[in-house]
Amino acid sequence: MIRAFVAVEIDLELRQRIARAQEQIKDRICRELRSLGQDVRIQWVRPDSIHLTLKFLGDIDERLVGDIQQALTLAADAQPRFSVEVGGAGAFPDSRAPRVLWLGLSGHVEALVRLAAEVDRALTALGFPAEAKPYSPHLTLARIKERSRELGKVLSGSGVLAHAAQLGSLEVRAVALMKSDLHPSGAVYTRLVEIPLKEPQRGE
| Residue of 108, 138, 163, 183 marked active site | 138
Distance from chain centroid for Cα 167: 15
Residues in the chain: 204
Tell me the CA distances in angstroms from 183 to 74, 186, 187, one per residue in order. Answer: 33, 5, 6
Whether 51 sits among the annotated catalytic residues: the reply is yes
| Residue of 51, 108, 163, 183 marked active site | 51
Whether 108 sits among the annotated catalytic residues: the reply is no
Kindly provide the b/e burial profile for residues 16-49, where b requires at least 16 CB atoms within 10 angstroms of the residue's own CB. Answer: ebbeebbeebbebbeebbeeeeeebebebbebee
Which one-letter amino acid corresponds to residue 40? V
Q: How many Å apart are CA 33 and CA 18, to the nearest integer?
A: 22
Q: How many Å apart are CA 180 and CA 183, to the nearest integer?
A: 10
List active site positions.
51, 138
